[in-house]
Structure formats: structure tokens, C-alpha cells
Amino acid sequence: MLLDGIKVVSFCHFLQGPAADQYLADMGADVIKVEPLTGAYERQWSGADVYVEGVSGFYLCANRNKRSIAVDLKSEEGKAVAAKLIAGADVVLENFRPGVFSRLGFDDARLKELNPALIFASASGFGSTGPLAQKPGQDLLVQARAGLIGVTGTPQGGPTPVGAAVVDQHGGALLAMGILGALVRRLRDGKGTRVEGSLLNAGIDLQGEPLVNWLAGDIERKALKRERNLATWFHQAPYGVYPASDGHVVVSLCETENLADAVDSDGLRALAGKDRYEERDAFARLLAEATPNFSMEELGERFDRLNVWWAPVNYYDQLLDDPQLKHAEVFREVDVRGRKIHLVNHPNRYDGKVPELRVLALDIGEHTREILAEHDYSKAEIEGLIANRAVVAADAAKKGAA
């Protein structure tokens, strides 16, 4: 794979950091997930309280292709283990609050001493400095502060959050991109790089198009007021969601005349030639009045014939049967302790292939002994660290929980 031979040590939890190193792991990097003795946060919580044979759905979504070692970073022996891991790494990631990793004994000077060519990547909520640096960073909080909730909603309907942790996921992708750039730099000139990503910056980056239009166009907040079917404040009609007799469809680019013919609307025909941004509410209302006269299948046939860009509004329970998603191998069936579930695959294809699932560390410290042996610890030293609770191995963890 693309990153074969690259060693990544990750001190990450929640979603932004784990998403970033999962992208790298999927591309072939050897990612070692350093967890606390009781396991990373995402093992302890799951959306909708979903656990698969005791394994959190939150953990499963962002921790494939990583090996797990559990280390007590507050003990001297544990810090020594972490230092040895860092010394042998190409990349180290952490997403503690700013300053925590330094207080654990791994400030920039110590990292440079351990590994002069290290790529050190940090993910935070609001950046490492500034008035909000110590505030808790979480997807919903950033959606609000970055303006995303405000513009997704309308003044009449109120602020509306996005229905997924889009900032976390985008922040992870941006951090992985930065790490890849730093790896190229190191190959070119041998230098390490300090890579920083934040949820706040990711939340702003997600909105590059509307923000530039807003700032460059001296737009006022009244522009956010729009017919509820319209998806955004800055697109011209009919860009939005419309009801069918048996569901909903979205309608995007089209010619007004074609759209009017597709839904047989004299009202839309009368708007031909009008500015579809200035008259967007009228367009949206007329279209929303016409589309319920047809089923989704009927609308699809009419829209396709008249070159109207459209799509059905799908729900999660329909995705596994979607023919394009099947063809693209977007989902992967895996066995979790005897139960079959589906994971979301890596989003890219390399030489036409989906990256393989090499490992899925279901247990805390599942690879502790293996990783320590690779870092020149003897069998006796490994068992001593486990006995002293400086590290946890999966079998020891299970015995402790029994």
C-alpha cells in the first residue's frame, strides 16, 4: 500500500484524531493506538447506545487497521514506553487539550530530542493558542460557533444543525492531508514538521464557498430567510428538497422551462426568464405545490428525460441496497465476535482497489505484547510492565474485568 513502512503512534480519542489516523492506517501505515489502561473514550460511549458484542459503534467507526497498546502515561514506566514508541515513529498524533501532552512530559523539545525528524501532529477544538484554546472542542459546539448551524437553518425556522459529525470527520481528513504533506517534505529534505489542525478551522473550511460569497458580496442576514424547501441561502431556486407522493426528492440544476414541463406547472412556466435567485421563494413554492402530484419514480423518469438534475432522498435503511454504493464497495461486512455488521470503507480507491481491512483491535491492549517486543523489550520486561500496570495487555485486561 501507499504508506507501507510508515510508523504512526497515535495518542488520540473521540473522533477527529482517530479519523485522521484511520485514513493513514487504511493507506498502509502501521498505526499504533496508545490507549489509557481503561481504553480510549470512544470505547466507553456510543451513539444510540449501540454496542456490538460489547464493542462500541463509535469505536468501530474510526479505529480499523490500528493496533492497540494500553499505557499508563502518568507512570514513569508508562512514559518510558511512550518515549520508546515515539523514538521509533515517523508520525506522532495527539488530540488532548492544548498543553496536556507537554505536561505529560512530551513538549516540543522532548519530542525533538527523542526523534529529530519527527512529524508531530496535533488536533484540537480551537487551536493551540488564543482565547478559546482551553475550551472543550466538540463537533456541535463548532458547528454553532463557525456559523454552520445558523446558515443551515433560517430566521423563521431557527438554527438547524447538520445531522452528522461533519466537522469532526472533515477535521480528521484535513489533518491526514497535512500529515501526508509533511511526509513528502521529509522525504524531500529530511525535516520534521509540526502539523496542527482544529475543529474550528475545519468548520470554517467546510463553508468556503458560502463564506467567500457572503463576505465578498456584503450580504446581510436577511438573505438567510428563504422558503423552507430551499437547501441554502446562496443558491438559486430550485436547489432544495421537495415532496413526492411517496417520499422526497432533491432538485438541483435545470432550465426553468424543462422543470416546468417535467411537473406540468403553468406557474413555473410563467416564471421563465425571471431571476431564479431574486424569485427563489416563488420558484420553490410553485415547485413544492406541483411535485406531490407524482411519485418519486414518476418524477425521476420526467426529470431524467428533461435533463433536470435530481436525486431521491434516501434513509440509512436503504443504503445497503443502493446499486451504486454496492458497486463502489462503500460498505464492508465484518465479523465482530461472531456477529456480522457493516463498516464504512476507506473513501478512496488506489489502483482501482479498496484498501484491505488488515486488523481490527476489538480489545484494549490487544497488541501490547507484540508492539513492545518490536521495540526491543524482552519477554520478562513485558511481563513486568504488565504486572506493574504500566501497560495493559488484552488477556490481562480481561482477567481484571472478570
Strand order in the sheet with 240-244: 240-244, 247-251, 310-312
Rounded Cα–Cα distance for residues 214 and 168 (Å): 24
Residues in contact with 151: Cβ distance below 8 Å, sequence separation at least 6, in sequence order: 207, 210, 224, 232, 233
168 classed as catalytic = yes
Residue 45 CB-half CA count within 13 A:
7
Active-site position among 30, 72, 168, 363: 168
* C-beta separation of 255 from 262 below 8 A: no
3-state secondary structure of 94: strand
Q: Retrieve residue 381's grid coordinates.
A: 520486561
Longest dimension (CA), the chain: 84
470554517: which residue's cell? 204
Residues in contact with 10: Cβ distance below 8 Å, sequence separation at least 6, in sequence order: 17, 18, 21, 31, 32, 33, 34, 66, 92, 93, 94
Q: For the packed helices 256-263 and 280-290, what is the interaxial angle rounded to 10 degrees?
A: 20
DSSP-assigned letter for residue 158: B
CA dihedral 198, 129, 32, 109 (to 10 degrees): 150
| Catalytic annotation, residues | 168
